[in-house]
Chain A
C-alpha cells in the first residue's frame, strides 16, 4: 500500500486520515460540493475511511492472542443480541476498547455491525453503522485511562456514544432521503429519531452499569493470567 519511510509519520497519518480529515471533509462538504453529489461523496468517504483503517491494520503487530480475543468479543456482542432484552454491542465495544486497546475497540465495533447485519439485513447504511460503532470503540480506547478510573465518566461516555451513534446515522438518513444536507432537514430527522436516540443512550447506560464490573473483571483476569 502506501510507502512512507518514517514510522512516526505513517502512524500519525494512519490515525489522522480516517478519523480526523475524512469526517471533517464529510461535514464540510455542503460548503464546497454541489448538493446533488453530497450523498454520493459522503458515502464514498465513509467507505474509504473504513478501507484505509482496515488496510493499515495488516501492518500492525496485534499478537495472535489479542487477535483471537477480538474475534471472540465480536461474536459475543453479536450473540448477545439473540438473547431476550439484551443489546450489548455498544457496551461490549467500549469494554473491549478499554482492556484490549483502541484498534481492538474499532474492530469489535465495526465487525459486529457487519456480522449482526447478516441477521438484521445489510444495506447502504452498513458502512455508516460500521464507522459509528468503530469510532465509539476507537475513542473509548484513546480515553481508556480516565474512563477506567472514573465510573461516572464511563457512564457519561455511554450516554454520549448512544446519542452520537444516532446523530451520525441521521446524517445518512437526511442525505439519502433529501439528496442534500441542510440543517433544517437534519433537525427534522433528529427530531423524528429522538425516541430512538434516548433509547440508545439509556440502554447503553444500562448495559454498561450491568456489564462493566463482571466483564471488566474477566478481561482483566485474562490479561493478567496470560500476560497480554
Chain B
C-alpha cells in the first residue's frame, strides 16, 4: 500500500500547489466550497479528529472576517441595517462570506502541504534548480538541530558558572544575548572546519553524482499528468472569464453554462486526486486482505 505522502514529491507538490493556487485566485462560491470540502476531507483523513486548535483557527478567522468585512466595507448598494450610522450591506456580507471560505480553504491546503512536504522532500525538489543551493539548504536544516543542542550546552555551562540570578528579567535577556553570542563564535568556527574537511575530501573538484530515495513510478506520472491537465483546463477557463463573479455594487446573478460545469467538475477531480488515490489503495489493500 502506497500512501499519498509516499508518492513522488514533485507530483504531490504540483497537485497541492495548483489546487491551492486556483483557490487563491478564484471567487466562485461553488468552486471555493468544493475546495474547502476537499481540503477538510483530506485533513481529517490524514490526521483523524485531533488538532482542535488548528480547526478553531482555520474556521474562526474566516468567520471573524465575514462578520467584520461589512463593518468597514461600504461598497454595496442593498442596505440591510445600520450600526453606528454605518450601513451594513448584503453585498459586503456575501463578499465577506466568500472571502472567508477562500481563506479557510487556503489555510487547510497549506497545512496539508506543510505536513506532506517535509524538508527532505523540499531538498529533493530544490535539486532540480541548483545542487549548490540544495546543499546550503540541507546544511542549514541540519545546523538548526546542531545549534539547538549546542545552545543547551552553553546555557548549562553558563548556569554552572553561576551567571544567572533567580527569575530576573534583565539578567535573562542579557544571558540570552550572551548565549547567542557564544553560539555564533562557535558556529562560525565549526562552519570553517566543515568547509575545510569538505575541501580535503575533494568537494568542488569535479562533477558529483548523487542518489535519492524518490523514484518515478507509473502512478506518479499519471498523477502529475492528470493534475497538470485538470489544472490547465480550470486555469484556461478562469482566464477566459467563465468563473468571474462581481460582488459590488450589486451581486451579479451567476451564469452557469457548459464551460462553468466543465471548470467545476475538472476542479473537483483535481482537488479530490489525493482522496481518490488513498481510496483506491485502501480498496486494493482490503481485497488483498480478504483473499488471504
A residues near B, CB below 8 A? 36-37, 39-40, 43, 51, 54-55, 57-58, 62, 64-65, 67-72, 74-76, 78-80, 82-86, 88, 107, 111, 114-115, 118, 121-124, 176-177, 179, 188, 210, 214-215, 218-219, 222, 226
**Whole-angstrom distance between the Cβ of B24 and the nearest chain A Cβ:** 6
Beta-carbon nearest neighbor of A84 in chain B: B176
Residues of A within 8 A of B143 (CB): 71-72, 74-76
Number of A-B pairs, beta carbon distance below 8 Å: 141
CB within 8 A of B129: which of A55, A62, A82?
A55
Beta-carbon nearest neighbor of B204 in chain A: A64
* A68-B139, A121-B110 given; A79·B181 CB < 8 A: no
Q: For the complex, is B83 an interface residue (Cβ under 8 Å from A)?
A: no
| Cross-chain contact A67 with B192 (CB below 8 angstroms) | no
**In the complex, A217 Cα to B192 Cα: how many Å?**
16
| Cross-chain contact B180 with A86 (CB below 8 angstroms) | yes
| Cross-chain contact B191 with A123 (CB below 8 angstroms) | no
B residues near A, CB below 8 A? 20-21, 24-25, 27, 72, 99, 106-107, 110-111, 113-114, 119, 122, 129-133, 135-137, 139-141, 143-144, 146-148, 151, 172-173, 176-177, 179-181, 183-185, 187-192, 194-196, 198-199, 203-204, 239, 244
Interface of B is mostly: helix
Given A65-B195, A121-B114, 10 other A-B residues pairs in contact with their CB atoms under 8 A: A58-B133, A64-B199, A71-B136, A75-B141, A76-B143, A76-B183, A79-B148, A84-B172, A85-B173, A115-B144
Interface of A is mostly: helix
**Whole-angstrom distance between the Cβ of A159 and the nearest chain B Cβ:** 21
**In the complex, A85 Cα to B149 Cα: how many Å?**
20
CB within 8 A of A67: which of B25, B136, B144, B239?
B136
Beta-carbon nearest neighbor of A177 in chain B: B99
